[in-house]
A and B are shown apart, each in its own frame.
Chain A
């Protein structure tokens, strides 16, 4: 496969690389950069496990072909904080929001994006923000509760 050159920002770091033109962003993250925090559950943009933030919007990284990332600013689960977990992540842990954890990084990315734009989202806004992230272990309630608890704490 023909290789192409890409330039983009990943988790605050400028990346320049030459990669096969036909791989997806999720493949690139997992197989080339070994950033395996991003999970892949369907490869078709249906489950949301591979959610990443690109220029302030969330995307299923399994649907992004690598040439598309050129010039973009991308954040993955590995890049949402430098050292410690974020308050959102801590709140999710305290609530016991996840069980098997496979959906967790995608959920965190969707919710991080929501909270970056809306400090006090309504219940409906929280539900909607994760409507593209499937979870089979929990009933979503504890994930939503973690956000409600956190945003109340901000007041």
Chain B
């Protein structure tokens, strides 16, 4: 509880340009993608250690530390809400006035009691997952300036959706969003962590107040404390299965720690609920998801968006079922995988392409899996080897009822090339390369220098939705495809007018117009010159609404998704029995993202997904005690280095053709990571006979699973 904020001493310091508090916010003192429950500058309460109370601008970095020290804030300590389960209790202290439950989703399908009665085996477990940090190499930073003559506020800052950032800033400053320009490229990694506001509003406030160029850099140990994390979840699973391996029922409770503010915690919990039964047919389900406020930092969007956690739980359940039924893990999955027209765990029909059968075929014949017993020959008394598998699926796009669209403008240049404007953002996923490849193909041209991709600037590009949910490339690509088709039609019409050849007798091959006899009519270059003289170089627009399901799931906003990507993983691990340390030796990623457009980018996403998934499985957890971060930098929060990561990584594309996708493709950014962690923990079981139910499977956790300490 804030009793008093005194900035007077700081203001007197020579070289201090501005000190702002909540009093200096002209508009809404709040932000957040879903609900604006996070104060830009706190006024009554500080709900987590990364909350901002005052903003300081100084002439030098050195002065900044001094000025901050001179700000006096008087607090009255409040009880810390730490355990999400205790936070649910009636007498728990409240993080927000309305209580600690941000969202509670409940879904019933079939008859859960009947399902358990039909089951020959019931497996019941509680799983816990770690709090993963995005660890993008570039911390949140940017600069801003206000042009008084133009009345325009310009902010340069890495972000994932410039148009939404623009709105969030406009609300806080109470100015017209058109007076704000956001340029959010390039950026050094996102992974979901820069989807929410980072420094944009603070930069805007300072630039607006000081009328000067303002620069802001978040240092690593601040970045880890203030920024969004992958939700730690407690997952209670009770799964019923018949002797022949057919799943009958799943009773699931998901408790997600969203920290002090909502951000995207609600949609993340709903996505976890949607994917909680895995890509399997489960006729009877009862699924509840809770998104719970605590004082543990903040959680938000992160590659996988709630699916990592439930996949870890469900794939551990499947592995245990296979073991108890003495059944091959692939065969067990084969019996239950979703086929076109089947219902998912939440009862929505899946009507788009499914690559699961092919994924299981590939796993079965892969030497790493097929010869898994041979892989253990090297096992010694102290080193055990094991192979594990997992499969998963991931909804692409935002889901039903949410604005989800792509837009693109294309203009022909005087040199016969094209400028392609897209609102999606290059966040380090090679999107610009992919968009260029798409545009080259759609515009029927091969010279890379002829297509120029322009993204990430609210003043010059169309709004193209958010660069998240594995759907950005998909959205933009569809829009490019549509705009390109229009462009081609216009160009053919122009050729028809100028050269008097019927449009249906004109074809285009690599920027050359030809007639039916394969004779050259003209080229893009020559045509562009003619059109330029006539002052009618064409411009086209492409707009595309992301396909969504026709039906909605009652009580679960945004569900279901319509298009899904699928993936599978095989992992070979080495467990050191003496230390509990697990090494990932080999990993195979099998990905159904539809047709592969940018092979290098596809492999890059897969390999990065494997290593990030390995970090999630074995190493990474931001530990918070009593609201304090015990882990703040890369010497305490370890992410995989080149020495930890396996060199033996293989990516196998499973190309199921998605009719709705551009050139038959789907999104892959997230699904590449999701099955890795359970494949690794299942491999640890295969190696040691011990199941790790809490990620990360640190040496300590594995050691204590293997050895009991003598009782005192």
Contacts and interface: CB of A to CB of B under 8 A. Distances in A.
B603 A137 contact: no
Interface stretch (A4-12, A35-43, A64-72, A75-83): A35-43
A69 to B, nearest CB: 20
B600 A139 contact: no
A126 to B, nearest CB: 8
Contact of B610 (A41, A134, A139): A139
Interface in B105-148: 134-139
Contact of A41 (B137, B609, B643, B645): B137
B138 A41 contact: yes
Interface string A122-138: 01000110111111111
A41 B639 contact: no
Contact of A131 (B138, B639, B642): B642
Contact of B633 (A39, A42, A140, A143): A42
A47 B609 CA distance: 19
B137 A128 contact: no
A96 B191 contact: no
28 contacts: A1-B62, A41-B188, A42-B220, A44-B635, A46-B220, A46-B633, A96-B430, A96-B601, A100-B186, A100-B188, A100-B429, A102-B137, A128-B642, A128-B643, A131-B642, A132-B641, A134-B634, A134-B639, A135-B642, A136-B135, A136-B189, A138-B607, A140-B611, A140-B642, A140-B647, A141-B649, A142-B600, A142-B607
Contacts of B639: 134, 136
A41 B220 contact: yes
B448 to A, nearest CB: 13
Contact of A46 (B604, B605, B635, B643): B635
B62 A144 contact: no
A46 B647 CA distance: 22
Residue from A42, A43, A99 having most chain B Cβ neighbours under 10 A: A99
A148 B205 CA distance: 49
B219 interface: yes
Contact of B188 (A101, A141, A143): A101
A7 to B, nearest CB: 25
A127 B138 CA distance: 22
B643 A139 contact: no
B643 A127 contact: yes
A102 B158 CA distance: 12
Given A44-B633, A46-B634, A136-B191, 15 more contacts: A44-B220, A44-B634, A46-B220, A96-B604, A99-B601, A127-B642, A135-B137, A136-B136, A136-B137, A137-B428, A138-B607, A139-B609, A139-B649, A141-B607, A142-B604
Contacts of B137: 39, 41, 47, 49, 100, 102-103, 134-136
Interface residues of B, number: 40
A101 B608 contact: no
Interface string A20-46: 000000000000000000010111101
A97 to B, nearest CB: 8
A43 to B, nearest CB: 6
Contacts of B62: 1
B451 interface: no
A95 interface: yes
Contact of A144 (B139, B189, B642): B642
Contacts of A136: 134-137, 189, 191, 608, 612, 639
Interface residues of A, number: 34
B427 interface: yes
B187 interface: yes
Residue from B219, B604, B642, B645 having most chain A Cβ neighbours under 10 A: B642
Contacts of A123: 647
Given A1-B62, A47-B137, A134-B634, A99 B220 contact: no
Contact of A139 (B190, B427, B607): B607
Residue from A39, A101, A130, A144 having most chain B Cβ neighbours under 10 A: A101
Interface residues of chain A: helix, strand, loop or mixed (majority): loop
Interface string B178-195: 000000001111110000
Contacts of B190: 100
Contact of B138 (A1, A39, A43, A143): A39
Contact of B187 (A44, A100, A135): A100
A134 to B, nearest CB: 6
A140 B645 contact: yes
Nearest to A126: B642
Contacts of A128: 642-643
A139 B138 contact: no
A123 to B, nearest CB: 6
B188 A102 contact: yes
Contacts of B220: 41-44, 46-47
A43 B189 CA distance: 18
Interface in B621-674: 633-635, 639, 641-643, 645, 647, 649
Contacts of B611: 138-140
Residue from B134, B188, B634 having most chain A Cβ neighbours under 10 A: B188
Residue from A95, A132, A139 having most chain B Cβ neighbours under 10 A: A139
A141 B601 CA distance: 13
A141 B600 CA distance: 12
Nearest to A103: B137
B467 to A, nearest CB: 13
Contacts of B136: 100, 102, 136
A138 B641 contact: no
B643 A131 contact: yes
Contacts of B645: 139-141
A37 to B, nearest CB: 13
A45 to B, nearest CB: 9
Contacts of A135: 137, 642
Contacts of A41: 137-139, 188, 220
A42 B139 CA distance: 8
A98 B600 CA distance: 10
Contacts of B609: 139
Q: Which 5 A-B residue pairings sit nearest by Cβ, starting from the closest?
A: A100-B428, A102-B188, A96-B600, A139-B607, A46-B634
A2 B2 CA distance: 39
A43 B608 contact: no
A136 B187 CA distance: 13
Interface string B423-434: 000011110000
Interface in B572-609: 600-601, 603-605, 607-609
Contacts of A131: 641-643
Given A46-B635, A99-B429, A131-B641, A138 B138 contact: no
Nearest to B430: A99
B65 to A, nearest CB: 12
